[in-house]
Structure formats: structure tokens, C-alpha cells
Amino acid sequence: MKLQLIASDLDGTLLGPNATLSPLTIAALQRAHDAGVVIVAATGRSQHSALELLRPAGVVSWAICSNGATRYDLVADSVVHHHMIDAVDVEVFIDRLRTEFGEIGVAWETTEHMGWDELYDRHRNALIPRPEPQEGRIVPFPVGENLVKLLVTHPALTHDEWLDAVTPHAGGQMSVSTSGTDFVEITHAIATKGQELASLCEQLGIAASGVAAFGDQVNDLDMVQWAGRGYAMENASPKLKNAASHCAPHHGEHGVAAIIDELLDGIL
């Protein structure tokens, strides 16, 4: 395998437990970049959140954000495109969930900002207390707007129960996934990390065989399966570990950096 492109999830994968890029990881990415390897970040984070992390590193060329709904060119410093969920599909979907499940929390991402309702804020903070301010705020739902991404929570169902419950309501217009927390993430049907990475690689003239992809959660599944070398982190979900062709060390042990160095050294 001639390594031409590295695609990596951020949280739980490229980032350490403190949600930052370690000097060791930046050094490995720089080494790959200097060798002509294209570096792609593929994350569930919005472009605004992702770019705050990626710009200082200076070696990432492309960002696939919001689970594939947004592609950002860091070299040109511009959005390439968004795959938006149609406003009508969003409203029908939310109505279906509220009819069946009652009290659900809703958050959303537009091209400009993130927002959420009080129930989402309550559910989210009950799951993971956050002492630091988060991107977004409690605002009225943007009725009639197309969305980059939608997130929904339930106060009682487990992670797997909620994912399984939401999925049938998405139909063919939306893709349903999760990044490991108890909210479920909804994007346009063609907005997945795997589909967006495949599209980018086609435009760059890079075959799947030249790609190494890293992830830790269900929203990384099609990306890791598509790549010539798909790595599940040691800390990955069982679903991803079962689907991946390779395993990388724990993200807390700079696992992506270790594999990059071995690939560049020809050990793997």
C-alpha cells in the first residue's frame, strides 16, 4: 500500500483525552504531510468547532465536518459545500418523534450557528455536565430553514435503544448515526463520513487502496470500511471494532500517531 491520504476522526481518535492535538500527534501528521500525504479530518463536530482545533496544527488540508454534511478546504480557507437537510423533512421527522416518544430534546446546526431547545440542554447536561461554555445557545427552532445537522435526545432510553428507535423514522432522505453520546445525529442521506471521503478522494484521484482511515464510533463506520486500511481505535465501540480491518492503539496513547509512523516507515 502506498499511503496517499490519511483520514481521521477527532474526538476519541486523533485527539487525546483532553480533546486536544498532542505534540506527538502533530509531529506525526507533519511528517506525513512533508511526505506528500494528504491529511483529512473527518468529524461530527461543526466546521466552527473543528477549525478551532485544526487551524493551529497547520497540516490538515481538508475537514469533513458534521458527519459528512460539510466539506471545508483549509488551504483555501473556504467551505466547499454543505449537504443540507430539507426543512420539510426536518419538521415531519421531528413531528413523528414527538408523536411516538413525547418529550424529546432537539438541537440543530445551520450554516451560521448551532442552537437547541431547553429539553436538549437539560438532557445533555444530565448526561455530561459541562463547566465550560459550549458552542451554541437556547434559541427558537428555525422553522422553514434547511439544516446542516439535527440532533435529538430522549430522557430515558439507552444509547442503543434511542438509535434503534430513531432510525426507522428517517426514511430515505436522512442518515442517522451517533458519535458515542446519548444524542442521535441526523444529516442528509448522502452526508456520511464515508460517502464524503470517497467523493473527495475521487476528485483528488486517490483510490481507496491509498487511504488509511481512523475512527472510534458508529459515525466512522462507512469511512473505516471504505478505506484500504480502516483502523478502529482500541477504545472504539464494539460495532466499529467488528467492522474494521485493523486496530490502532488507544487514543490516550497517541494511537493514530503510532500507526502513521509505522506506515511511513514501511513497517505496516
Q: Which of 188, 208, 239 is the last residue of a domain?
A: 188
Rounded Cα distance, 152 and 120, in Å: 7
253 has a pLDDT exceeding 60: yes
Q: Would strands 211-215 and 70-73 be described as parallel, antiparallel, or unpaired?
A: unpaired
Q: Residues 46, 100: one domain?
A: no
Range of the domain at 98: 87-188
15 has a pLDDT exceeding 50: yes
> What CATH number is attached to the domain comprising 53?
3.40.50.1000
Q: Residues 10, 31: one domain?
A: yes
b/e sequence 18-37, b meaning 16+ C-beta within 10 Å = eeebbeebbebbebbbeeeb
Q: Residues 23, 58: one domain?
A: yes
Q: Where do we find the cell 479530518? A: 41
Across the chain, where does the E strand assignment appear? Answer: 5-8, 38-42, 62-65, 70-73, 78-82, 105-109, 114-116, 137-138, 149-153, 174-177, 184-188, 211-215, 229-233, 246-248
Alpha helices in 133-266 (DSSP H): 159-166, 193-204, 221-226, 238-243, 255-264
Query: What average pLDDT does the structure give for the chain?
Result: 93
> What CATH number is attached to the domain comprising 137?
3.30.1240.10
Number of independent structural domains in the chain: 2
Helices H / strands E in the chain, number of each: 9, 14
> Residue 231: what are its φ and ψ, rounded to 5°?
-110, 130
Query: What would the pLDDT profile of 78-134 be if each residue is shown by its tens digit?
Result: 999 999 999 999 999 999 999 999 889 999 999 998 999 999 988 876 655 444 545
